[in-house]
Chains A and B, each alone.
Chain A
Amino acid sequence: MNSPSATATQSAMGSLHSPIDGTATIELEVNGVGVTRRVNARLSLADFLRERLDLTGTHLGCEHGVCGACTVVLNDEAVRSCLILAVQADGSRITTIEGLAETDHDGQIISIHPIQRAMQEAHGFQCAFCAPGFLMTALCFLERNPAPTRAQIREEISGNLCRCTGYQSIIAGVETAVEIMAADRREGAQDA
């Protein structure tokens, strides 16, 4: 890819104009860390995360919004990172699969997220290419609805494709996550 020559102009009004094959500078928060980068306007958020930030845990399957593998969290909502331009994510807060586990200053994992633990216990995945998308989808879903019915779980994960499992183990994994997170909340309430 040629290095783009032209750079965006920012008007006093706060508008932004990036010429064809030009770049714009974006500032966003990814997994709790502030990031500033100059990006090409045509770069997708998924490619930005993978190629510019080396966060290759976000997977690309279909690259046109059908498979859900690239799902990340943008300002508390699950979104397809292949259907968002990096420039559109300017100013937003992103969480990727790399931001799910609790880590120390060196990036070493202290404890995995309850949803990750649940999927492990339920043997939710086989090849797990689709796992990052499912986990980020489940994260947002359980935050909005901590006690879902099985039907609601099936509906909510219907936007993510898995070609190995037949989904039953993934649904079981989400149900396990519901139990673990409810138990954690009860424990937290007792401690408090």
Chain B
Amino acid sequence: MPAFAYHRPASLDEALDLLSRFGEDAKILAGGQSLLPLMALRLSHPANLVDISRVPGLNEIVEDVEGGLAIGATVTHTRAEEAEAVHRLTPLVAAALPLVGHRAIRNRGTVVGSLAHADPAAELPAVALALGARFIAVKSGGQRRVAAADFFSGFLTTDLAPDELLLAVGFPPQKPRTGVSVKEISRRSGDFAIVGLAATVSLDEAGLIASSALSFFGAASTAVRVTEAEEALAGQSPGPEAFEEAARIVSQSLDPPEDANGTTAYRKHVAGVLTRNALADAIDQIGFAA
């Protein structure tokens, strides 16, 4: 591990003071399951680590009055995975969590940390984008909200400033008659996905598709939604024909990078197959609930 100065603030104010003092020279350490591997591989060598794991008030899962859910900065994947409220209010988050790393990683890694790390092949950024999550960023003397669409700005890059801390992520209430699905292809269980998809579909009272979200990971330099396919689904009767058309648009419009795990053409093809499967899976759930 490269050398660094270690700071373990005991309060949020102290953490924010440290961040404003060190700026670019500091990294926030919560679970450390993304940051420490990067440091071990010498891909990251921050001069200061600010360990927020003992800052009070951050380890909370809070339901809001409208039926939304907020997850605080130090809530681990395992804790979220086991929380009844996460399953009840944010089924898409609950569906994605078991696919994040392995148990030992989820026991330490945090939901908010995954989002702040913004790996384009990770599940949770795509989930946040699909659900239109809101990010609460805080710094000394100020707090702001950032929409998911504005949060992920590039490869491992977010809208957060160096002196800001991602305090929590808020998920809006799920619409009625909604089904969700997370599908991914990876080399081994727990690996980052070669390509994957977080999907939601909502039906109107007549049983036609009212709205949908098709949010891909491992398919671009950030998580990415294919809005053309979402728009094509609107007003359609949910079934193989509509799903096939959405899959075709997805395969056509994505332009995923090529690497050792798959060519661009392979990823485009898989993205289409996953689209079909995820939509069918999501619609099945609505049938179940009705």
Contacts and interface: CB of A to CB of B under 8 A. Distances in A.
B206 to A, nearest CB: 39
A3 interface: no
A74 B9 CA distance: 21
Contact of A83 (B5, B32, B51): B32
Contacts of A132: none
A15 B7 contact: yes
B3 A15 contact: no
B7 A16 contact: yes
Given A78-B103, A83-B36, A156-B103, A64 B41 contact: yes
A137 B36 contact: no
Interface residue range, chain B: 35 or more
Contacts of B41: 64
B158 to A, nearest CB: 22
A192 interface: no
Given A64-B41, A65-B36, A41 B6 contact: yes
Contacts of B4: 20, 41-42
Contacts of B37: 64-65, 83
A17 B33 CA distance: 21
A24 B1 contact: no
Contact of B10 (A8, A14, A68, A84): A14
Given A16-B7, A17-B6, A64-B41, 8 more contacts: A11-B10, A15-B14, A22-B6, A85-B6, A85-B36, A87-B6, A137-B103, A141-B103
22 contacts: A16-B6, A17-B8, A18-B7, A20-B5, A41-B3, A64-B41, A77-B104, A78-B107, A79-B108, A80-B104, A80-B108, A82-B40, A83-B33, A83-B105, A84-B108, A85-B36, A87-B51, A156-B103, A158-B188, A159-B101, A159-B102, A159-B105
Interface of B: 1-11, 14, 29, 32-33, 36-37, 40-41, 47, 49, 51, 53-54, 78, 101-105, 107-108, 188-190
Interface of A: 8, 11, 13-22, 24, 41-44, 63-65, 68, 71, 74, 77-80, 82-85, 87-88, 137, 140-141, 155-156, 158-159
